[in-house]
Amino acid sequence: MGNAFRQKLLRWYRTHGRHLPWRQTHDPYRILIAEVMLQQTQVDRVVDRYHRWLKRFPTVQSLARASSAEVLKEWSGLGYNRRALAVQLIAKQVVSEHHGQFPQDVNVLMQFKGIGAYTAHAIAVFAYRQPVPLVDTNIKRVLGRIFLGYKQLERKRDEEDVFWELSRQVVARSKRSYDLNQGLMDFGALVCTAKQPRCPTCPMRTICKSYPAILTAHPERLRVKTKRSEPVFFGQPRRIWRGRILRYLHTSSSATLQTIGRAIQPDWKANRLPWLKSVVHTLEKDQMVVRRGATVHLTDIL
């Protein structure tokens, strides 16, 4: 991996890198919260919620002590609510098994339920400044386009080891692993974007294997992640209905299925009860709600 790429990236990052609140800390707990919130949620939406969360749960100990209902309430509106319970389980394990200190070893971090390869490596590099590789969608897109070419990227997008190796070559033995990884993410978010990359002004175009052919490429050929279509029920995917159920339960200590149905759907009909029961069952499986008799409660309310 040539020095030219690293030098160009670091030079660009010094001028254009984003100023984000989780970049002002090396606390692994705060970095974990940011990384989990950023999963499937845009940066602009995360910034305010990140500050709110840390005001409510400033330490890993305070999150571990909280009830699941409190955690879900604070997460409400961010979507994919199971992430909230996952991060609390991590906090409890850190407190109970590691004396409140996050491990520094990537392999140990990956043993936590809820911490995958990306999050473990993110904690290692952003909290502990370790020269480890990092691969998210932005990094995968940048490295794939520049070093493989967008046509090869399209063919290899599911071969994760290829991109981890590319990332490893970028940061291996570098004292600037933190800046290189942050720079890669920002470059993917601001220049080497998914749908309309800014190729004509890109500082990497002289070394990029995709340029200039990428300028006339069909948008579908630029996709890194396989497009997934969500099943829709009554005009919305199930995750939206799950969120509405949880938000309603925050206003009521308990409710029947019929009451929930009328609260979340203005055109509620009783024949939708089996469908609603199946949605509530998914929330039960994720330990977000419990059912006692005919009523549904948020976890820990009882």
**pLDDT at residue 1 is higher than 60:** no
> Mind listing the pLDDT tens digit for each residue in 251-275?
777 889 989 989 999 899 889 988 9
Q: What is the pLDDT of residue 302?
A: 33
Start-to-end CA span in the chain (Å): 57
Catalytic residues: 35
The pLDDT confidence band at residue 13, using thresholds 50, 70 and 90, is: very high
Mean pLDDT, the chain, integer: 90
**pLDDT at residue 226 is higher than 80:** no
Q: Write down the CATH number for the domain with range 232-298.
A: 1.10.10.10
**Which residue ranges does the chain devote to CATH 1.10.10.10?**
232-298
> Mind listing the pLDDT tens digit for each residue in 144-188?
999 999 998 888 888 888 999 999 999 877 889 999 999 999 999
Q: What is the pLDDT of residue 179?
A: 96
Q: Which of 103-117, 123-137, 219-233, 284-298 has the lowest mean pLDDT?
A: 219-233
**pLDDT at residue 301 is higher than 50:** no
> Mind listing the pLDDT tens digit for each residue in 76-88?
888 888 899 999 9
The answer as to CATH 1.10.1670.10 being correct for domain 137-222 is: yes
For domain 27-126, the CATH class is mainly alpha
Q: What is the pLDDT of residue 66?
A: 95
> What is this structure's pTM?
0.81
**Which residue ranges does the chain devote to CATH 1.10.1670.10?**
137-222
Q: What is the pLDDT of residue 228?
A: 63
In whole angstroms, how large is the CA radius of gyration of the chain?
A: 22
